[in-house]
Chain A
């Protein structure tokens, strides 16, 4: 009996070897190169490196799990190839050309910031490579007729519109809004859309003025805000926005709401002390985000990838710091490529693009759906901002509360200064 079993086993193994089904046969392995630049130096190095840390975590995890298996048995593993772009557009264009032509990158991820991602988008489109943009919210990149560029962030045009909705809910009597913003591509896109939205909703925009990038003195703008204003909105990037928030406080600004870009979701914003209290900021993602497989199921969508908790723990273990939305953006950019390669069963650009065009899924980062129309191709349609506000707990310590939208909030919003 034992002899018969042994013969049968040998026979089956031999058959497996012949047909290529046996693990001993070894599936064909293909390494896909993911090319990107990282702002390791220059003014964007902090946000840029967080994004890269998120992306590298995805590379480690997907490879550790055995890569992506294609229907033909090929196992796709991923290799990251990147260079320092020094936070400069001209370096971005040189380096993406090099990534494509010399390093033979199969897919591309953008650097952090709208300006740098826009510079990379031209090169990727010219060279027929898919580019997933992370950290790039400006709408204009996706209105240039590109067909291979896909956005993970909620577009700038929807960054602060939720704050207007929240203001209407907080105080239906509110009428006057002052907008002061950095004059860069991203912030300008945000406030132009904000102004249009506020006007449609019946608000009077009493001040609409921009400041140069790198500004440090906001007193001239604050002095121009007329008394009786209900909300102050705008800002730009971390440095200028945190300065603006500090000076609003020091100048005794009274308003029901102060909602500013980029800086408030950062933990470092709490260094402003009382000047941070009550300030609201839109965020692409926070560890307190309420997305889950149940959320996806309730909306009839597919859930893909780790849960919020799994991502947060894994990132914390690798980077030894809390993840931010920059890190989540980097991770999800890779995750989307993984999903598209897996679903298309191929690494062919056209097939992966077709899947991305039709994608409508939930991940730990929220919903992802791209605009597939030629006019706005690649623009993010599914993902929504969440709004955090700095509040004080019972011990007087500052903490972040998710205050909008209603479905995601962890607590009620409070007025800025009465």
Chain B
């Protein structure tokens, strides 16, 4: 029993880091511009396919491919912001919600036409790490490490660079930031680009250990919403911790009850947080 518990918890926590990274992207966009980005899931799926294509067609190591996927995610985020979100950024929340939902539908439609809904898989293995009863695929360990590195890089960017500080300023008070000469339109585009980049990278990391289709981003998008609320909307560090919490729960619950109870407990917790601490465990920013 102890062996199963340790094994389950390790699996859950490692996956939790990647959940966290995906949620950091979503929460950053919400925190800076209060936009609920419903194109988050398909962008994650595009990150999966980007890593897959570079691995399969160009023979790149999937972790090297992640750097290209990150650049793609950044540019693609700029594009989505410029074409779709910018025009409705000051409209009621429903407008931005529908705008990003439209992007979601377009990406899934085009993705289905190009890649079909047939699952794809990156045939890449780093072996497994065996410690006592714990048997962990190394790709999950590297993915967790990658998620920590990207989150740390985001933290350093936000706190120690001028554009990062500008993002924080715009998130705090857009009008005041504009009065200080910060070009808010560019900063919003940059924020959306970074959020999209993190989603694409999280997708790329997941693709190294799970097969995927163009529809695979959906469940992670849903988890990202739960994590954002758990950690505190708009709080990147809270999102990472929320991811760990969710991953840990997904590891622990199956040791004591059928796996089908996992969403019941997860969403039960989600409702409790909304009721008793709506700002999230670490507080909203």
A223 adjacent to B11 (CB under 8 Å): yes
List residues 108-122 of chain B with CB under 8 A from any CB of chain A. 112, 116-121
* Residue among A219, A268, A273 making CB contact with B125, cutoff 8 Å: A273
Assuming the contacts A216-B219, A251-B135, A271-B121, asked whether A221 and B112 have C-beta atoms less than 8 A apart, the reply is: no
Chain A residues with CB under 8 Å of B15's CB are 217, 219
| CB neighbors of B among A233-247 (8 A) | 238-239, 242-243, 246-247
Q: A214-B219, A220-B250 are in contact. Are A243 and B7 (CB under 8 A)?
A: no
A7 at the interface (CB under 8 A from B): no
Q: At the interface, yes or no: A272 with Cβ under 8 Å from chain B?
A: yes
Bound Cα distance from A403 to B53, whole angstroms: 34
Nearest chain B residue, comparing its CB with the CB of A272? B121
B163 interface hit (Cβ, 8 Å)? no
- Stretch among B143-151, B210-218, B265-273, B276-284 lining the A interface: B210-218
Is A250 located at the chain interface by the 8 A CB criterion? yes
Interface size class of B (residues with CB under 8 A): 35 or more
Q: CB-CB contacts of A195-214 with B at 8 A, as 1s and 0s?
A: 00000000000000111101
Say yes or no: B258 contacts A209, CB within 8 Å.
Answer: yes
The answer to whether A66 has its CB under 8 Å from any CB of chain B is no
Contact between A46 and B116, CB atoms less than 8 A apart: yes
Q: Do residues A250 and B209 form an inter-chain contact, with CB atoms below 8 A?
A: yes
Q: Scoring A residues 130 to 153 as 1 if CB is less than 8 Å from chain B, else 0, what string do you get?
A: 000000000000000000000000
Residue of B nearest to A274 (CB): B125
Nearest B residue to A269 via CB reads B121
How far, in angstroms, from A238 to B258 measured CA to CA in the complex? 23
- Tell me, yes or no, whether A172 is within 8 Å of chain B by CB: no
Contact between chains at A220 and B211 (CB < 8 Å) = no
- Distance between Cα atoms of A247 and B7 in the complex (Å): 14
Q: Cβ of A41 < 8 Å from any Cβ of B?
A: yes
Q: Does B178 contact A (CB under 8 A)?
A: no
- Chain B residues within 8 Å of A251, by CB: 128, 135, 137
> Nearest Cβ in chain B — how far from A84, in angstroms?
12
Confirm or deny: B61 has a beta carbon within 8 angstroms of a beta carbon on chain A.
no
Give the docked Cα–Cα distance between A11 and B255 (Å). Answer: 92
On whether the beta carbons of B259 and A216 are closer than 8 Å, the reply is no
Q: Is A252 an interface residue (CB 8 A)?
A: yes
A290 contacts the other chain (CB 8 A) = no
Residues of A within 8 A of B7 (CB): 219, 223
Complex Cα distance, B262 from A210, in Å, reads 13
CA distance A216 to B209 in the complex (A): 10
- Judge whether A271 and B11 touch: CB under 8 Å: no
Assess whether B137 is in contact with A43, with CB atoms less than 8 Å apart.
no
Q: Are B121 and A224 in contact (CB under 8 A)?
A: no
In the assembly, what is the distance between CA of A219 and CA of B218, in Å?
20
Q: Closest residue of chain A to B206, judged by CB?
A: A216
CB distance from B142 to the nearest CB of A (A): 13
Query: Which residues of chain B come closer than 8 Å to A238, judged between CB atoms?
Result: 118-119
CA distance A268 to B118 in the complex (A): 9
Docked-complex contact B259 and A221, CB < 8 angstroms: yes
Q: Tell which of A44, A216, A274 has the most Cβ of chain B within 10 Å.
A: A216
Partner of B118, one of A46, A223, A252: A46
Contact B216 A43 (CB under 8 A): no
Please give me the residue from chain A that is nearest to B258 by CB atom. A209
What chain B residues lie within 8 Å of A41 (beta carbons)? Answer: 112
Q: Is A45 an interface residue (CB 8 A)?
A: yes
Compute how far the CA of A274 lies from the CA of B120 in the bound complex, rounded to whole angstroms. Answer: 16
Asked if B119 contacts A239 (CB within 8 A), the reply is yes
Docked-complex contact A216 and B210, CB < 8 angstroms? yes
| A209-B259 contact, Cβ under 8 Å, with A216-B216, A220-B250, A272-B123 | yes
8 Å CB interface, B124-141 against A: 125, 128, 130, 135, 137, 139
Task: Contact check, B119 vs A224: say whether CB atoms are below 8 A apart.
Answer: no
5 A-B pairs with the lowest CB-CB distances in the bound complex, closest first? A220-B254, A250-B137, A219-B11, A239-B119, A46-B118
User: A211-B259, A219-B7 are known contacts; what are 9 more A-B pairs with Cβ within 8 Å?
Assistant: A41-B112, A45-B112, A216-B210, A216-B212, A217-B210, A219-B8, A220-B251, A239-B211, A271-B120
- A interface residue numbers (CB < 8 A to B): 41-46, 183, 209-212, 214, 216-217, 219-221, 223-224, 238-239, 242-243, 246-247, 250-252, 268, 271-274
Can you name 12 A-B residue pairings with CB atoms under 8 Å? A43-B213, A46-B117, A209-B259, A211-B260, A214-B219, A217-B250, A219-B8, A220-B250, A220-B254, A221-B254, A239-B211, A274-B125
